[in-house]
Structure 1
């Protein structure tokens, strides 16, 4: 079973994406901001990280930068953003512009987790 870390400051997005990933039989842990997401990433092992880009405290660019400089730097990361022009780097494996189709997210998650295994 794939384990996914989902980071977003919008509760509704967390719930919708978590439900979609459960349909793929993925185990999902959530974090409501980038700082908590980094803490969870450091404490666990994940097959995929999905993060919002624009969040208070620590944004998704810092999350992906932290992951890429960690011992598990090859963990696939999907960035989600309603403002994709604010992406500060190209370290994401994929970027989905909000709003996006849940089917597209699920297909992207499947592709990245199959490639990582």
Structure 2
């Protein structure tokens, strides 16, 4: 089973991501900020990191840079919603600093499912049932 580390300071975001990812058959580890995320990464076998960019104490950009230096092959998805134009600028910086993919909040389940599928190609993601007509 693939393991995803979700780093976000918002409890509700972590809860929603955990529930969604677990329904996809993934194991989820949570961290409230970059420092806690880096400790969790050192203590666990992780296949993918989903990291918010705007967090107190240790922000996402620094966390992504640290992960990329320490674990060059780690797959990283950066997420942010801190003001639409500001979020887009931060997401571009996150890609320059090592994020494999980015998502602006709010994002859809389908967008997240697609990126997780790209990052974990050996992991079959659950396909949602078709919408009733």
TM, length-normalised to structure 1: 0.91
Rg larger for: 2
1:15-41 CA-to-partner distances (Å, cap 9, x unmatched) read 101111011100000001111001111
Aligned to 1:69: 69
Structure 1 outlier segments of 4+, above 4 Å: none
- The alpha-carbon deviation at position 3 of structure 1 amounts to 0.4
Is 1:96 the counterpart of 2:103? The answer is yes
The number of equivalent residue pairs is 115
Work out which structure has the larger RCO, using CA pairs closer than 8 Å and 6 or more positions apart in sequence: 1
- The alpha-carbon deviation at position 106 of structure 1 amounts to 1.6
Aligned to 2:90: 86
Aligned to 2:46: 46
1:54-75 CA-to-partner distances (Å, cap 9, x unmatched) read 10111111111111111x2211
- The alpha-carbon deviation at position 86 of structure 1 amounts to 2.3
User: Structure 2: how far apart are the matches of 1:57 and 1:102?
Assistant: 28
User: Which of 51-60 and 84-93 deviates more?
Assistant: 84-93
Q: Secondary structure at the match of 1:114?
A: coil
Gaps of 5+ in 2: 82-86, 124-133
**Aligned pair in 2 of structure 1 residues 36, 114: CA closer, same or farther (>3 Å)?**
same
Aligned to 2:117: 110
Gaps of 5+ in 1: none
User: Structure 2: how far apart are the matches of 1:84 and 1:14?
Assistant: 21
RMSD, aligned α-carbons: 1.5
